Amino acid sequence: MNLTTFAFIISGVLLNACAQVLLKAGTNALGGAIHLTMATWFQTLVKVFTTLPVLGGLACYGVSLVVWIIGLSRTDVTIAYPMLSLGYVVSAVGAWMFLGEMISPQRLVAIGVIIVGVVLLART
């Protein structure tokens, strides 16, 4: 995989992880768990989809989709798709930094395993 292809793939991963953190920030801004009922589903969805972090997350998803398709056009899916697991690493760090979520020692070990796996994959 050349540098340009890698840049497209990693940009897609980073944008996807950013989308996750923004979507969670948006749900946090709404005050907790979302409960849909027949009487309130429309109002609730309007409230969700007009929350700035949610809109930002959706924008990140849209751009990540375009970047990802470009990256996929340049490399094998057997190389590109496993790179998405780096999104778990980035989103965990983002959740820790921006949302105050804790990363337990067990999660740190799991993140390390993911990183080792991606490095091994990238070297093939």
Q: Per-residue pLDDT tens for 22-51?
A: 999 999 999 878 888 899 899 999 999 999
Q: What is the 3-state secondary structure (H, E, C) of 37-51?
A: CCCCHHHHHHHHHCC
As a whole number of angstroms, the distance between CA 15 and CA 70 comes to 14
pLDDT of residue 104: 95
The whole-chain average pLDDT of the chain stands at 93
As given in the structure block, the two tokens for residue 89 are 């690493």
Say which DSSP state 1 is in: -
pLDDT of residue 33: 85
For the stretch 111-119, contacts whose Cβ atoms lie closer than 8 Å and that sit 24 or more positions apart, written own/partner, are 114/85, 114/86, 114/88, 114/89, 115/86, 115/89, 117/82, 117/85, 118/82, 118/83, 118/85, 118/86
Residues near 88 by beta carbon (within 8 Å), at least 6 away in sequence = 111, 114
DSSP E strands in 1-124: the ranges are: none
Instruction: Report pLDDT digits (tens) over 3-19.
Output: 999 999 999 999 999 99
DSSP string covering 12-28, please? HHHHHHHHHHHHHHHHH
Residues 19 and 94 sit within 8 Å (Cβ to Cβ) = no
Residue 122 has pLDDT above 80, yes or no: no
